[in-house]
Amino acid sequence: MAKRPILIHPDPRLKSEAAPVGSVSGEIKALAADMLETMYDAPGIGLAAPQVGVLSRLLVMDCVKEEDQPPRPMVLVDPQIVWSSEEQSVYEEGCLSIPDQYADVERPAEVEVTWTSLEGGACSERFSGLWATCVQHEIDHLDGRLFIDYLKPLKRQMITRKMVKLKRERARA
Ligand code: K1U
Ligand code: ZN
């Protein structure tokens, strides 16, 4: 297992649609392990393959927040939202590709998602609460969409300018 560098917005790979994985290879299993390590180290509650520069439809997440609860690392290959609730919920989202920027985003409160497991099995689950917000945020990454795309243009431009500056500073350091 190895940590991988996380791409920072703006980057064309974060605006691209990722390609279906299809059958799960050893390379995909290794990528999933690396992504979990990278997510826990960040720390974060989710990570999508395009954020580490791989344009494949793979995401990892673990939204267990309670310290007395065991972790629940999840790996979703080729996830698809097959049902969304009419009820909406608002959550202040962040993104590991847009460090230190947070904004309220409204999304369906519950979603049902189907995916393939790393063992190649068909899986399905209804997510609510933070899990629902996170899985939608991560599937957006697979479609080249960022949470700032839901914001007003001025706010989005302001955040993008801050990220350009941050990348310039990091490149100089
Ligand atoms: O996809 C990502 O960039 C990861 C992102 C996921 C996410 C956060 C909030 C709402 C929806 C999706 C993050 O994990 S940002 C970091 C974060 O939320 C966090 C970090 C440490 C402890 C708890 C949360
Ligand atoms: Zn993100």
Looking at this protein, which amino acid is placed at residue 137?
Answer: H
Tokens found for residue 113: 């998602």
Name residues contacting ligand 1 (CB within 6 A). 43-48, 91, 93-97, 133-134, 137-138, 141
Choose among 59, 128, 126: nearest CA to 96: 59
Domain 12-172 sits in CATH 3.90.45.10: yes
| Residue 10: cis peptide before it, omega within 30 degrees of 0 | yes
Q: Each residue of 68-120: pLDDT tens digit? A: 999 999 999 999 999 999 999 999 999 999 999 999 999 999 999 999 999 99
Measure the CA–CA gap between 113 and 14, rounded to whole angstroms: 22
Residue 169 bears catalytic tag: no
Q: Are 19 and 57 in contact (CB under 8 A)?
A: yes
**pLDDT over 90 (residue 1):** no
Closest residue CA from atom 20 of ligand 1:
44
Ligand 2 centroid from CA 136, angstroms: 10
Query: What is the pTM for the complete model shown?
Result: 0.98
Which residue in this structure is represented by tokens 């899990």? Answer: 131
Q: Are 148 and 103 in contact (CB under 8 A)?
A: yes
Closest residue CA from atom 2 of ligand 1:
95
Best substitution site from 36, 54, 95 to test ligand 1's pocket, by max atoms within 8 Å of Cβ?
95
Helices and strands, counts by H and E, the chain: 3, 7
